[in-house]
Chain A
Amino acid sequence: MIEVNDLVKRYGETIAVDHLSFTVEPGRITGFLGPNGAGKSTTMRLILGLDRPSSGTALIDGKPYRALPDPLRYVGALLEARAVHPGRTAFNHLLYLAQTQGVPKARISEVLDLVGLSEVAKKRTKGFSLGMGQRLGIAAALLGNPRLLILDEPVNGLDPEGIVWIRNLMKQLAAEGRTVFVSSHLMNEMAVTADHVVVIGRGRLIADTAMDEFIARYAENMVLVRSPQADKLSEALRGLGAVVASQEDGALLVNKTEAAAIGELAAANGIVLHELSPQRGSLEEAFMELTKADVQFHSPDAIAQATNAQAAPASASATQGGGA
C-alpha cells in the first residue's frame, strides 16, 4: 500500500505538488491521471525517495522508500525519463541492479524473456528504440519480483501490440495481489486498464474514486435512436424527462435515459425503431472538462479560445462577422 499524506513539493516559487493525500491499495490497478505538468511524475519521484518533499510524507507499507531493505525486491519502478547508460548492454544494466539487491543472475534472463528483449540483451542500449527502452525499464522494475509497482507512463513509445501486452501484464500483476500504481495523461487508456483512479491537476487532488464510478459520473451516456416516427418518439421521450437532440440525418440522440427504457417506451406507443444503440460518452472529454481549470500548458488554440471567450462581450460582433 502507498500512503501519500499532505504531500507538498515546491521548486522556488512554483508549487508542483500541493497538499496531496491519497492511498493506493494492493490487488488492483490504480490509475494516476492528470494533464501534462500536473505533478504526476514529481509525486512518483517523491514516493520513491528520489526527491525530498517540502512537507508531508509518502510511505510504502508504512515506511519511507529509503527505509526499505533491498528496495528493488519490494518496489519496482519505471520512471518516465530514461535511466540507462547508453553505452552499457541491456544485460549489464540489469546485472548491476541485480547485484545491489542480491538478486540471482538467472532472474535477469527471466525478465529479459518476459519483456521480449532476450535477443538484444548483449546489445548496447544506445541503439534501442523508445519502445525497447521502455521494455528494458519494465524489466528493471520486475527484476526483484516486487510486491508493489510504480509505473510512470508505461505505454509511452510502445506499439499497439506492446500496449496490449503491458495492459495484460499490469492486470496479471494486480490479480496476483500486487499493488500497481500507473500514471497516464490519457483517460481512455486508463479506462480500459485501471480499477481505481486518482486524478490530479496542478498538484492538487481532483478525484479519488473507483473507475466505474468515475465513468458513470463524468461520462455522459447517450443513446442513438432511429425511427420513421421520430417526432412522435421524441415527444414521448421528453414526456419521460429525457433530453433529446435531433441529428441532421434524422436520428435522435437521447440523454438521461437508458436504452431499455427507450425500447419499452417505443413498444408501449407502437413506435417502430430502426436503431437503438447506447453511445459511450467520450471519457477523454469528461477528463478534459474535469481538469480544464487545472491544465498547466494550453495549446495555442486553447489559449486563443480562452482569450476570445473573455474578450467576447467587447468584440462580439467582430468575432461573429469574422466567423461567418
Chain B
Amino acid sequence: MVTDTIPRAASTEGGHANFGRLLTAEWTKLRTVRSTVWSFAILIVAVIGFTALFTFLTVQQWSQMNAGDQAQARLDPVPQILGSGLFLGQLAICVLGVLVASSEYTTGMIRSTLLASPHRLRMLAAKCVVFAVPVLIVGEVLSFASYGIGKSILSSKLHTSLSDPHVTRAVIGEGLYLAVLGLFALAIGQLIRHTAGAITTVIALVLVLVPLAGLLPGSIGKHVSAYLPTNAGQQIMQIYPKDQIVSAWQGFGIFGLWTAVLLAVAAWLLVKRDA
C-alpha cells in the first residue's frame, strides 16, 4: 500500500525534467511498440532485397540495353545501385515517422506524455532526436551494405568504387536522406495528428508531387520539381546532378529547409493547441 511519506516539496534535483530523461523515455516508447520493429524490418528487406534484385536484373538484361543507357549506368552507377531499394524502403520510414507522432494522438497517449513532460517543445525535440538517430545509423549501414552488394553483382559490367569522385558522398547521402525524411514525416504526423491522413499526405508529397510537377510545361516543371522536398533531397545521391539546377548539397539543404519549416509549424501548433 501507499505508505511512503508524502514528498514535502517537489524534488529540486535536476530542476525541470532534464533532456536526458526525456531522451530515455522517448527511446522506451520507440522500442516498445511493434510498428517500430516492423518498419525497420521492412526497410532492411526492401533496401537490400530490391538493390540485389534490380542490379541482378540489370546484369541479366545488359546485352539488351541500348548504348546510351549502358553509358549512363557506367557514368553514374550509384543511383543505379541505390535507387530501387531506396524507392520502396523510404516508404517504411515515412510510415514510421508519421506513427511516432500521430499514434500519440490516435491512442490518447499524448495526455500521459504531456502530463509527464508539460514542456511540449522539449518533448518534441527529444522525439525528433530519438527517432532520427537510429534511422541515420540504420540508414548508413544499409546504404553501405546495399552499395557493396550492388557493386559486386554489377562488377562484370561496370566499375565503381568508393574512392571514385563523389561516390562516398552519395552513399553517405542515402543515410542522411532517410534521417531527414523521417523527420519530415514526423513533422507531418505531428501536424495532422491522424495516422491515415498523415500517411496519405506524406506519400503524396514523396511519390506523387514530383511526377505531377513534371507535367508543368517546359522549364517551369524542371525548376519546380528541383525544389520539391524529396526530389531536392535525393540530389545528394547523384554523382552528377541531372538537371544542374541545384547541386547535391544545395538540394539536400532545400530538403532540410522544408523539414525545418514543417517542424517549426508543428512545434508552434503543439504548444498552441489543446492536447
Contact = CB atoms under 8 A, between A and B. Distances in A.
Contacts of B1: 114, 172
B116 interface: yes
B16 A69 contact: yes
Contacts of B165: none
A145 B114 CA distance: 18
B107 interface: yes
A59 B116 CA distance: 17
Contacts of A71: 17, 115-116, 118
Interface string B138-160: 00000000000000000000000
Given A69-B11, A81-B108, A101-B21, A145 B2 contact: yes
A173 B1 CA distance: 10
A147 B103 contact: no
A50 B275 contact: yes
B112 A93 contact: yes
B215 interface: no
A151 to B, nearest CB: 13
A101 B116 contact: yes
Interface residues on B, range: 35 or more
Given A87-B35, A147-B7, A50 B112 contact: no
A77 B114 CA distance: 12
A134 to B, nearest CB: 14
A80 to B, nearest CB: 10
A68 B16 CA distance: 8
A173 B118 contact: no
Interface of A: 45, 48-52, 65-66, 68-75, 77, 79, 81-89, 92-93, 95-97, 99-102, 114, 140, 142, 145-147, 169, 172-173, 176-178
27 contacts: A48-B115, A49-B118, A50-B275, A68-B10, A69-B14, A69-B15, A71-B17, A72-B116, A73-B10, A77-B115, A81-B111, A82-B107, A83-B111, A84-B112, A85-B103, A87-B33, A89-B32, A92-B32, A96-B25, A96-B29, A97-B116, A99-B25, A99-B28, A100-B117, A102-B13, A102-B14, A142-B2
Interface of B: 1-2, 4, 6-7, 10-17, 21-22, 24-26, 28-29, 32-35, 103, 107-112, 114-119, 274-275
